[in-house]
Every structure is written in C-alpha cells, then in structure tokens.
C-alpha cells in the first residue's frame, strides 16, 4: 500500500506546491494565525475529515480513524510566520508587509494537508488513527505546543512525529538524532541605570553605555571560562540600546539576548553566572540594574527507538540519498514539549534551494519544493513503521 501512497503523493505535487505558495503569500505571525487556521480547518472540512479548532489557542487537529485497528499517532506541522520583510523576487512573494514565512512553516503545512488528502483515499486500509496536528506559534515563546499539550489534546496519542524542512541541508538528506537534537532556548533582558551627562565631563557621570559594554564582554566569559569545555552553551547579546546623540553620555542601557543549552544543569549554571557578572560590573561602576531571565523551550530530546524508525523509514523513500545522525543544533523548537509527554522523534528534511544560500529567518529565505513530497513520504513511512513495531 505504501508504494501506492507514495505515487498518490507524487501525483499531488503540483497542488502541494500551490498550497505552499498560497500560504507563503498570506503569512501571519505567532498567535495571530486566524486566517491560516481557518484555511486549514476548511481544507479538512472539504475532505470530510473531522477536526477540532482553537486547540490550545489557534491550533487545529484533524483525526483520520483508519478502518483497521492500531495505534494513534500524531503528525505535527507548524503554521506561523515571522515579522520579517520578504525580499525575494518571486511570484509568490509575501503580500503582507513586514511578515514572511522565513522558516518553511508554509511548506510544513502544505506537506501535512496533502498527506491528509492522500490518506483519506486509503482510510479503510489504514491501521490505527492519524492525528494531523497543525500547531500555531512555534516561533515565539511560550509557543503553541505547550498549551496544546496542557489542553489534553494529545493525552490519548501513542506517539508524535514531525519534520522541519531544513534549508541549509541538501535535498535528499534526512537528518535526526537518537538523543538531544535541538537546544533549549531562553531569553534575557538587562536594564542598566547610570547617570547621564555632558560628553565633555565623563567624570561627573555614570556612563550606562560603558557599563553595558563591559557587561557584554563579561557575559562572553561564561562559556569560555565558567563552563566545562565539554559542555555546550551559547550566550548571545542581540540588542544593545544606549544613548541618543554624540555628545551626551547615556543615562540608561538595555541589553536583550538569548541563552542556548543542551543540559538543564548548564542552564542553571549560566543563569547563576550571569547574575554574578552583571551585579559585579554594575556595582563596581556604581550603577543600578534589573535582570530578567525568561526560560523558553526546553531541549528537544528524541526517543531513541522512534528516531531509529525514522532513519529506517528513510530507506523506503525515493529521493532520500542519505540518512544520517547529526550532532545537536543550537536552534530551539517547541516540538520539545511533545517529546516530554509522548514517545516520538523530530527530523530534518533537506530543502536547500540551489542558488539560494540564505538561512532560516533571512529576508530572502526560500526552500526547494521538491523536498515537500519527501517530507510527506517520510512521515507516513514513520507512521506505518510505528504501527508495525
């Protein structure tokens, strides 16, 4: 049956591309994906597949109960976009000013919708039940996965699988891990209060910009000097705001950044070291500060057996030329919450577009759409592998 399913997926490739390009033109940012959620729900209504809307927020879950007994497996796709201006010169360029699908979630949605259309044809022959889990708000913590899990929507599910179209990996390459796959991703904000003044009289001020610069430098020593070299972490300051004109010493400074980690113990170590460094530098410079740390998505840890099923499933997918286990990436993913609740695995489907070297979250980001059917076939192969294990 799987060979026929693969052929049906290939036959729907033009529609798959059409769906992806339509969604690409009408993106919506996290927690505001109202029209996209309606588009998804309407699609299932036309297929005659029952679905629930507003799951954990804007989530949509469609349920296809097979004609044969078996397990219940959720296949997940996210559908939010990013607040980025689309700079690509393509016919399907975003029509929403300042909003863009710059991470491939339009392709994830197209993949799952098309797979659902195919599997509806094979419903009576299908063992078990497929939950087509369309998740909102992956891009912005607290994300959509956590409230979906907390809603009880996957309590009855036996396993969860998902994929990310990975634009920095060649088409035909399947990547996953049997352990930690993606990093925990946190955010922090530091506000420094100094005492501004005339640029000609620094000795009469407490320069918040200089204090902030010292804090930035100090934070970089956490990874290089405070952590075991065999542990992995990232401390990045992405925003530094201070001062408004050339001859005025800054009164305040704001630093915003991210921390990435693989080991929860390291997360706590980084937080502790940040507090000591910020306090020490501000005290030494006679400045005040506030430090707010926001814990985001936990590390995404695949389940070994399910990850092995994904790697084995890739053997049966035409177009996959390489299957590999990879070291963890430092990007974050709220798919991690599903893995804390249920067995499953997440994997990358290579989608690098020739001539388009731009990474995820870039204004010129794009994917090779030939990856879409590969993703769909791998997901359904993993589904059947889990049913047969």
Catalytic residue annotation: 80, 138
**E strands, the chain, in order:** 51-55, 59-65, 68-78, 127-135, 159-166, 173-176, 180-182, 184-193, 197-198, 233-242, 248-249, 252-261, 288-297, 300-301, 322-325, 344-350
Question: Count of CB atoms within 10 A of residue 48's CB?
Answer: 9
Provide the token pair at 301.
């840890």
The structure tokens 């399913």 sit at: 5
Report angle CA 325, 328, 329 to the nearest 5 degrees. 120
Measured between alpha carbons, how far is 54 from 275 in angstroms, rounded to an integer?
39
87 in a labelled binding site: no
136 in a labelled binding site: no
How remote is the C-alpha of 363 from its chain's centroid? 17
Which residues, at least 6 apart from 388, have a Cβ–Cβ distance to it below 8 Å? none
51 in a labelled binding site: no
Provide the token pair at 353.
């577009």
Identify the burial level of 229 via C-beta atoms within 10 angstroms of its C-beta, where 0-12 means exposed, 13-18 middle and 19 or more buried.
exposed
Q: Please provide the size of the chain in residues.
A: 389
Binding residues: 103, 105, 139, 164, 361
Binding residues for Mn(2+): 103, 105, 139, 164, 361
């Amino acid at each position: 049956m799987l060979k026929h399913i693969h052929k049906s997926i290939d036959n729907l490739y033009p529609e798959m591309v059409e769906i992806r390009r339509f969604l690409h033109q009408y993106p919506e940012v996290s927690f505001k994906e109202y029209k996209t959620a309606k588009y998804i729900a309407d699609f299932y209504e036309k297929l005659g597949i029952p679905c629930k809307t507003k799951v954990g927020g804007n989530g949509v879950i469609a349920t296809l109960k097979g004609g044969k007994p078996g397990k219940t497996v959720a296949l997940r796709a996210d559908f939010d976009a990013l607040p980025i201006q689309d700079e690509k010169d393509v016919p399907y360029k975003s029509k929403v000013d300042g909003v863009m699908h710059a991470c491939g979630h339009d392709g994830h949605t197209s993949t799952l919708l098309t797979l659902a259309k195919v599997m509806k044809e094979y419903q009576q022959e299908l063992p078990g039940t497929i939950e087509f889990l369309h998740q909102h708000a992956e891009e912005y913590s607290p994300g959509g996965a956590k409230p979906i899990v907390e809603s009880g929507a996957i309590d009855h599910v036996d396993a969860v699988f998902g994929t990310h179209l990975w634009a920095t990996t060649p088409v035909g390459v399947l990547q996953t891990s049997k352990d930690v796959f993606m990093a925990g991703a946190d955010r922090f904000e530091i506000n420094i209060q100094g005492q501004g003044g005339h640029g000609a009289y620094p000795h009469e001020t407490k320069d918040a910009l200089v204090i902030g610069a010292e804090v930035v430098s100090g934070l970089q020593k956490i990874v290089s000097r405070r952590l075991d070299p065999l542990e992995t972490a990232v401390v990045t300051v992405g925003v530094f705001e201070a001062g408004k004109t050339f001859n005025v010493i800054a009164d305040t400074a704001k630093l915003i950044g991210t921390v990435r980690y693989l080991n929860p113990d390291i997360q706590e170590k980084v937080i502790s070291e940040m507090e000591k460094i910020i306090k020490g530098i501000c005290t030494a410079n006679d400045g005040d500060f506030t430090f707010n740390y926001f814990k985001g998505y936990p590390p995404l840890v695949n389940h070994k057996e399910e990850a092995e099923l994904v790697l084995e499933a890739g053997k049966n997918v035409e177009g996959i030329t390489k299957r590999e286990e990879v070291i963890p990436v430092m990007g974050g993913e709220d798919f991690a919450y599903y893995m804390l609740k249920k067995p499953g695995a997440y994997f990358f489907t290579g989608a690098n577009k020739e001539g388009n070297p731009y990474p995820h979250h870039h204004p010129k980001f794009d994917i090779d759409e030939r990856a879409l059917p590969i993703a769909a076939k791998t997901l359904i192969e993993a589904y059947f592998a889990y049913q047969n294990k």
